[in-house]
Amino acid sequence: MSHLTFFKRAALTTLAASLVACGSMAPDYQRPAAPVPAQFPVTGDTTAGKVVAADLPWQTFFADARLQQLIRIALDNNRDLRVALLNVEQARASVDSRKADRWPTVNAGLGLTRGVVSGGAVTTSINAGLLVTSYEIDLFDRLRSQSDVAFAQYLASSEAGRAAQISLIGAVVTSYLALQADSALLDLAQQTLATREDSTKLIQLRFDKGASSQLDLSQAQSLLESARVSVAQSTRQRMLDVNALNLLLGQAAPVELTAAGTQIPVQLQELPVGLSSELLLRRPDVLQAEQLLLAANANIGAARAAFFPKILLTASAGSVGSELADLFKDGSFAWSLAPQLLLPIFDAGRNQANLAVAKAGRDVALAQYEKAIQSAFREVADALAGRATLGQQVRAQQAQAAAEAERARLTELRYKNGASSYLEVLDAQRSLFAAQQAALQLQAQVQQNLATLYRVLGGGWTAEPEKP
């Protein structure tokens, strides 16, 4: 058998096998098992049969009209969210581009060919018509796999956009709750300052009449300046809160919602929590990681298909003539069809290396998917731990503040009757102020924990995933 006959038979055999075995070369995808416990470690009250956070729109959970106004402003103007949504549009265009690769490209062409034949005669040929250049017949779904990669990446970017929206809503709520908490701390500091100014005036009068010592006056003045420090600190922190909120909104927040003295406490409804960790699979960031895993899986199919033959098709149809005037005359129509079979024989290991890269990329995407689930589980577990303990801590802190208030009242009364020193009064006032501050901060933590729990359970977006 001659070498030529051998290669002919090999090419025909390969072509026949290609026609029989055509199909996607990507591995069958099975969703990996979640590497986390089936239940969250802190369960709390049962919520069987109730709607879960992922099915609870933010407009329902954050029913406060002021919060809804701020969230809508942020959704319309926040630049980070705008970038995330534009990335989705860019990925959508990339999908359309990849889909177009699976169809022939038809161009209108006008060509001129001049050459010299035997005897030195110059020949001229002009052709005009439709051209199809290097259209690949996708036997092994190489182009389809590449299109699947682009579509999965688009879905990943879409999930990233949803995750950005949920994060933005959570950030606006957290920022506004922080503003409210710092406003309450500022009010407390200003009230404390006014009380201490009155106390200092009384001590000054007692000192002028010889009823109090210089030590008592100095201690009262020290406590007064301490209150002024707290007012300045709370004022500065409140300004920082407004600046942070403005950045999230993408514009200045409405004055009626941020001006000092205008904060009305936001009441968040109790959140029903599903206890199964399967809820994590509905979080947009987890869905994003899974779509990237699907993209990496499809990329293996494209890399495998590169080992098999490709059929490229070049075709044209139109008019041919030796002069422009001869075009489109009767008898000038001509067509050509030039199929080409390309069988990889030697590529210095390029295809094998590309396959190894694709497999490694799939393993990386798998690890990132598992890490996304583990991180989500930890966030929910942390929020549930806060939910289980913060309420008890708030009640204890409020009881301590009430006890400190009573202690301060009794100490003040004893001092007026000469039974206690002014140092005891100052100590009681310091302890009362600290306890009141801690109570306000803990109340803010309870609200922020509830908002965080809503966010980490995937609340804030209920749109259905798009189909290819």
- Choose the weakest-confidence range: 167-176, 237-246, 328-337: 328-337
Q: Number of helices (H) and strands (E), helices first, in the chain?
A: 10, 4
What is the number of domains present in the chain?
A: 2
pLDDT digits (tens, 9 = 90+) for 256-278: 877 765 556 677 767 766 567 78
For the cut 50, the answer to whether the pLDDT of residue 243 exceeds it is yes
191 & 142 share domain: yes
How far from 165 is each of 68, 174, 378, CA to CA, in Å?
A: 14, 14, 21
Within-domain flag for 13: no
User: What gap in Å lies between CA 178 and CA 242, rounded to an integer?
Assistant: 10
Residues 368 and 226 in one domain: yes
pLDDT given at position 464: 43
Same domain (yes/no): 315, 378: no
Q: Are 303 and 164 in contact (CB under 8 A)?
A: no
Residue 445 has pLDDT above 80, yes or no: yes
Render pLDDT for 354-390 as a digit per residue (tens, 0 to 9).
Answer: 999 999 999 999 999 999 999 999 999 898 888 888 9
Q: What CA dihedral angle connects 189, 194, 198 and 201, to 10 degrees?
A: 90
Q: How confident is the model at residue 12 (pLDDT cuts 50, 70, 90)?
A: very low
Domain boundary among 291, 325, 343: 343
Q: Is residue 377 part of a domain?
A: yes
Same domain as 253, residue 112: no
The answer on 235 and 94 residing in a single domain is yes
Which run of H or of E encompasses 240?
A: helix 214-249
> 408: domain CATH number?
1.20.1600.10
Whether 6 is covered by a domain: the verdict is no
Predicted confidence (pLDDT) per residue in 313-343, tens digit: 888 887 887 777 767 777 777 788 888 888 8
3-state class (DSSP) for residue 377: helix
How confident is the model at residue 43, as a pLDDT? 52
| Crossing angle between the packed helical segments 65-77 and 214-249, to the nearest 10 degrees | 50
Q: Which domain holds residue 326?
A: 105-137+309-343
| 169/119 same-domain check | no
Question: Under 8 Å CB-to-CB from 18, ≥6 apart: which residues?
Answer: 139, 140, 308, 309, 311
Looking at the structure, tell me whether residues 42 and 158 fall in a common domain.
Answer: yes
Domain identity same for 226 and 371: yes
Q: Are residues 230 and 290 in the same domain?
A: yes
Q: What is the DSSP string of 244-309?
A: HHHHHHTSPPPHHHHSTT------PPPPP---BGGGGGGSHHHHHHHHHHHHHHHHHHHHHHTTS-
Which pTM was predicted?
Answer: 0.81
Is residue 219 a part of any domain in this protein?
Answer: yes
Segment 176-201, tens digit of pLDDT: 999 999 999 999 999 999 999 988 99
pLDDT interval class at 116 (50, 70, 90): confident
